[in-house]
Amino acid sequence: MLKLSLPKEPYWIDVGLDVRLKVRPCTSAVFYQARAFMNQKLQKLGDAYRAEKDVGVEHSELPDLEDSNVREALAEQYLTVGLARAGIIEWEGIFEADADQPAPVTDEKIDELFGAYWVIAETFRQQYTGMRELLEAEKNTRGLVSGGTSETGQDIAATAPNKAEPAPKDKKAKQASNAPITSTA
């Protein structure tokens, strides 16, 4: 059994390429704030996509929102950026492009960092939400047990070809005797 708890104070995570991020604990409030950001971004993108379709734009700069893979990827991207915007409070190893000075932690700089270095975004998401996902997994193991084998794995048994007919009923059924049962052993 695992006993896990979320950090209560800000902490540092290493995301590679000599970059460290100081983050708030990944609480429910942070997660819901990130999800709200994701939903707002997807809503705006969907509105723009529908507006272009309504006026007959054929070749758009917008992503193809009719493709479910594109929609899923955008949702993951926006959720990760939302988590970063809500969670990152300080960083080390991030510098301005045109100057040799540390870049400030702003929403725009977070977008720029995660847009340019997807591996940092992915590592951040895994490390930042990893503890929370482990807690969810632990909580789920204490839930209800599945209702049977069909709920726990793939059904690999072949279907029975035909049902057998029931045995005919004898009109005069034999009754068991009331004699005591004796043991032969």
Both tokens of residue 1?
């059994």
* Section 41-60 average pLDDT: 92
User: Which range among 47-51, 57-61, 69-73, 132-136 shows the weakest confidence by mean pLDDT?
Assistant: 132-136
Q: What is the pLDDT of residue 176?
A: 55
Is the predicted pLDDT of residue 148 greater than 90, yes or no? Answer: no
* pLDDT tens string 112-129: 999 999 999 999 999 999
Is the predicted pLDDT of residue 73 greater than 50, yes or no? Answer: yes
- As a three-state string, the secondary structure of 105-169 is CCHHHHHHHHHHCHHHHHHHHHHHHHHHHHHHHHHHHCCCCCCCHHHCCCCCCCCCCCCCCCCCC
From the list 102, 132, 106, 141, the residue with the least C-alpha distance to 18 is 102
Average pLDDT in the chain? 83
